[in-house]
């Protein structure tokens, strides 16, 4: 399933919003009920999983040489090492219930 730019934007917006809410929790945890805290956590997980699943779907459409080149580039980006990117993009099912650790 290819996601449109609007779909990706919506996933990113949900992730940004859930992280914003998590920052508010850090500032004033007593302002939130347990249900609200659970909702924030669920939104963070759901948005991260959706983005990762979308990335894996797109990655699977690339040829072997392109996949290798992309893994090398991502691994040298400084965000995560190549083995993390390999685990996230290639190791396991395309659709997962939880984000890559």
State the residue range of the domain holding 59. 5-89
DSSP 89-100: HTSS-SS-SS--
- The percentage of residues in the chain with a pLDDT greater than 90, rounded to a whole number, is 76
pLDDT confidence of residue 14 = 87
- Mean pLDDT value of segment 65-74: 97
pLDDT confidence of residue 88 = 95
Q: Which residue shows structure tokens 């990762």?
A: 52
Any domain includes 100? no
Residue 1 clears pLDDT 70, i.e. is over it: no
pLDDT confidence of residue 98 = 93
Cα distances from 65 to residues 27, 55, 68, 72, 90, in angstroms, run 46, 17, 5, 11, 14
Any domain includes 51? yes
First-last CA distance in the chain:
24
Any domain includes 101? no
Residue 34 clears pLDDT 70, i.e. is over it: yes
Q: Assign 61 to helix, strand or coil.
A: coil
- Answer whether 0.85 is exceeded by the pTM: no
Any domain includes 58? yes
Any domain includes 98? no
Which two tokens mark 96?
Answer: 């997962």
Number of domains in the chain: 1
């Amino acid at each position: 399933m290819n996601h449109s730019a609007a779909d990706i934007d919506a996933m990113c917006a949900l992730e940004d919003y859930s992280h914003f809410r998590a920052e508010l929790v850090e500032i004033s945890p007593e302002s939130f009920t347990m249900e609200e805290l659970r909702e924030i956590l669920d939104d963070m997980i759901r948005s991260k999983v959706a983005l990762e699943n979308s990335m894996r779907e797109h990655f699977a459409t690339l040829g072997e040489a392109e996949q290798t080149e992309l893994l090398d580039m991502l691994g040298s980006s400084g965000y995560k090492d190549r083995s993390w990117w390999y685990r996230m993009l290639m190791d396991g099912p395309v659709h997962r219930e939880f984000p890559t650790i």
